Copies of this chain bind each other. A is one copy, B any other.
Amino acid sequence: MDERQALSAFAALSQETRLRIVRLLVTAGPAGLAAGALAGEARVSSSNISFHLKELERSGLIQSRREGRSIIYRAAYPALSGLIQFLMRDCCQGHPEVCTPAVAALAICCNPKGDTAHA
Binding site for B on A (CB under 8 A): 3, 6-7, 10-11, 13-16, 19-20, 22-23, 26-30, 75, 77-78, 80-82, 84-85, 87-103, 105-112
Residues of B within 8 A of A13 (CB): 6, 10, 14, 87
Which of B22, B94, B110 is in CB contact (< 8 Å) with A99? Answer: B110
A98 and B77 alpha carbons, distance in the complex (Å): 6
- Among B26, B30, B81, B105, the residue within 8 A (CB) of A105 is B81
Closest CB of chain B to A39's CB: distance in Å? 18
Minimal beta-carbon separation of A103 from chain B (angstroms): 5
Would you call B100 and A110 a contact (CB within 8 A)? yes
